[in-house]
Amino acid sequence: MTEEMKTITLRAEELWNKGNMSIANEVYAPSFVNHDPFLPEVKDLEGFKKYIAVVCEGMPDFHVKIEDMIAENDKLACRWVASGTHKKDFFGIRKNNCRLTSQLLAKKQLGLV
């Protein structure tokens, strides 16, 4: 099960890096519920896909890299770095050509992704 979780997580990385929304349907359950308190308006899978599209449009060079990944049984934790250059207006912020970098920690459980 740990290898399956790693494979799913790497596909999610590809979703962000390529902006291919069909990957979202492969790696997230149709019943996906967002629990990120920083994105309260993103509630379900369709909203999450729209969020990804907005990020990728606003930062055309947006890239995610998984730095660390630990999986055990049906649980996985990963640390990833996301970066991109703010080239277009998005989320009410005018383009400013600033390079943004963020480190994030994600925790997932198979069947609950």
* Entry pTM: 0.83
42-89: per-residue pLDDT in tens?
A: 999 999 999 999 999 999 999 999 999 998 888 889 999 999 999 999
**Domains of the chain, earliest start first:** 2-109 (3.10.450.50)
Q: How do residues 90-105 score in pLDDT, each as one tens digit? A: 888 999 999 999 998 8
What single-letter amino acid sits at 12? A
Is residue 91 within 8 A of residue 41, CB to CB? The reply is: no
